[in-house]
Amino acid sequence: MSGPITYASSAAAFRAGVKSAVTSVFFLVISGTYVGVGALAHGYGFAPWWLALSTVLVWAAPAQVILISALGGGAPLIEAAIAVTLSAIRLLPMVVALLPLLRGKGTWLRDLVLPTHFTAISMWVESLRLLPAIAHERRVPFCNGLAAGYMFAATGSGFIGYYLAAELPPLLAGALLFLTPMSFLMSTARNARMMIDRLAFGFGLMIGPVLAYWHVGLDLMWTGVIGGSLAYAVNRLRGVAT
């Protein structure tokens, strides 16, 4: 059995992370998604520099869509900030799952600031897949490189979408924004190897649309809570029965 992958320096690990991002399917997904985000920002009259800055600071397409739509629709700044914050809460479990993979002997708290900020669906899925095979002391720079690669795709594609907005049909722009949740859905299905994960995935697919149809507040959170609890209960009952 081979040992963990080691890189000669942090810079080499960072470059490897960038390469992994550029060669992954998420690079294409993010590029397509942010073409739609750029078109949306153009439609609401935001400047291109504002789009780039919000991409770096918010770094999550759904939250950025909320921010652009809220401010573009005339909502007060505080309301937009609250809406974006509530949207970002969904990323907290991802951060909690990722940090144990990054923390090792000699890892400072300041080293985890950038990976924490740049934790999003794409970076999180690829980090969980790739980091276990990498030596602990190089995981943080690798993760930062991965995030930088995806950030490059987002900002560059945002500009492309911004300047193509006049030619981009609204239906196509909306379809591009749908790429990220679909890629997350497929990645989750691919990585669900344990029975409890498959149960949670299945329950979520059934419960989510029902709660959305009933207009239940925080439907995504309740889908996770109910689906995860049911999956845990069924898995425990299976264990007792066997």
Amino acid code (one letter) for 228 = G
Q: Tell me the average pLDDT across 117-138.
A: 91
| Confidence at residue 1, expressed as pLDDT on a 0 to 100 scale | 47
CA separation for the pair 21, 122 (Å, rounded): 9
Structure-token pair, residue 167: 């030619």
**CB within 8 A of 201, min separation 6: which ones?**
188, 189, 192
Q: pLDDT-derived band of residue 166, with 50, 70 and 90 as boundaries? A: low
Q: How much is the pLDDT for 235? A: 86
Mean pLDDT of the region 215-226: 76
Q: What number of CA atoms fall less than 13 Å from residue 212's CA on the CB side?
A: 8
Q: Please give the backbone phi and psi of residue 217, each rounded to the nearest 5 degrees, phi first.
A: -65, 145
User: Does residue 140 contact residue 202 with C-beta atoms inside 8 Å?
Assistant: no
Of the candidates 118, 190, 188, 127, the residue with the CA atom closest to the CA atom of residue 154: 118
Torsion of CA 86, 88, 94, 99, to 10 degrees: -110
In eight-state DSSP terms, residue 194 is: S
| pLDDT attached to residue 111 | 92
Classified as helix, coil or strand, 159 is helix
Q: Are 39 and 173 in contact (CB under 8 A)?
A: yes
Give the count of beta carbons closer than 10 Å to the beta carbon of residue 139: 26
Where in the chain are the domains? 10-179, 192-242
Q: How many Cα atoms occupy the beta-carbon half-sphere of 150 within 13 Å?
A: 31
Query: Tokens standing for 108?
Result: 């400072």
| Per-chain mean pLDDT for the chain | 85
